[in-house]
Structure 1
Amino acid sequence: MKADYPAVLDACVLPPMPLADTLLRMAETPRLYLPKWSNEIMAEVTRNLTGEPWKKTPAQAKHRVDTLRAHFPEAWIEGFEPLIDLMKNDPKDRHVLAAAVSSGTKLIVTYNAKDFPASFLQPWGIERKGPSTFPIHLYELAPGIVARKLRRTGSKHRYSAGRFA
């Protein structure tokens, strides 16, 4: 199975390691979705990782981003900057919506519902899902694959500080 529908992962869902690991495993072969992000999203991930509550070193944060670049080279969205001023959502998150629009992505995965209200996403045909709702959606699409991937998670996070960050 190979799912080619893209989903932009907002910066808030990538620092918590158990969540990030789960979301990213769902994007590995057999792929259930295509993760998408931008350099701006990754800069925010880096700021979040080096701040409270994660307190990672800059080298650890850089290693996380480099690992994501190596494992998901097709995830990077570029050339969306001219669209930022057209977005009507919260100014600090307009780059996320612009990246989604530019890449043809129809889904943003974020905790941040207030900065991505449906009324600002609908004109672009984009939906927002929370990071707990998104895996449920994936499970509904492919319950066996999701169950197998979740069984493999647990003791060691693939994208964590130990092996990859």
Structure 2
Amino acid sequence: MFSAFFDTCVLFKPYLRDTILSIAEAGLYRPLWSTGVLEELERNLLERGVTGPQVRHLRNQLGVVFPGAEVTGYTDLIDAMTNDPKDRHVLAAAIRGGAEVLVTENLKDFPASSMQRYDIEAVHPDVFLLDQLDLAPRTVHKALRTQVSRYRHSPRSVGELLDILTNDSHACREFAAACRRDTMWRS
């Protein structure tokens, strides 16, 4: 099973986070993040008005559902990274965790020249989700149905979830369009 490292910007958006982690729960890949990413996520969520108890609950759930996903012991690699200085901790953790892909919306912060020697590719969440759909469409569709079944309020259907993932803040238009073309998700 391959490993994918997630940058804070991906984990910050609740429906995108839920989609990515629902697919991981289905066993398609092993998700990774770092202590630094989780600390940044916590700061950003608190700034957006999420309460401390809600943030602690999220971090706890991430650890319970995905034990071993939190990469530690990467700080010694940070200074050797050549990508954007503010995101060197992200690449260092991805390398230490053995990730094959680094999923981020900030692709400009991870130029290929900084990634090639470590055999890691930076990909946008839309591309990552499309790859998962191509690899295992039935599993992805089942994960999406499971995801929406957990919500008490909207979105209550996969179609409503895909509408959310299509909007500007989530920007997973290609993934949503591919799911809509496939009638499997409607069953």
Which of the five TM-score ranges fits, normalised by the shorter chain?
0.7 to 0.9
Which structure has more helix as a fraction of its residues?
A: 2
1:5 aligned residue: 2
Q: Quick one: structure 1 residues 48 and 34, their matched pair in 2 at CA, closer, same or farther if it must change by over 3 Å?
A: same
Matched, 1:32 2:28: yes
Scaled by the length of structure 1, the TM-score of the pair is 0.87
Structure 1 residue 114: Cα displacement: 1.4
Q: Deviations over 1:89-144 (max 9, x none)?
A: 11111111001111221210111111111121112111011111111100111111
Q: Does the 8 Å CA contact 1:13/1:131 hold for their aligned counterparts?
A: yes
Instruction: Return 5+ residue gaps in structure 2 as ranges.
Output: 153-187
Instruction: Return 5+ residue gaps in structure 1 as ranges.
Output: 159-165
Match of 2:68, SS?
A: helix
Q: What percent of counterpart residues are identical?
A: 44
Counterpart AA for 2:24: A
Q: Structure 1 segments of 4 or more deviating over 6 A?
A: none
> Which among 118, 121, 131 is matched to residue 124 of structure 1?
118
Q: Deviations over 1:45-87 (max 9, x none)?
A: 10111113xx101221121111101111120111111100000
Q: Which has the higher contact order (CA 8 A, sep 6+)?
A: 1
1:18 aligned residue: 15
Match of 1:154, SS?
A: helix
Scaled by the length of structure 2, the TM-score of the pair is 0.77
Matched, 1:70 2:64: yes
CA RMSD of aligned residues (A): 1.5
Structure 1 residue 155: Cα displacement: 5.9
Q: Quick one: structure 1 residues 72 and 157, their matched pair in 2 at CA, closer, same or farther if it must change by over 3 Å?
A: farther
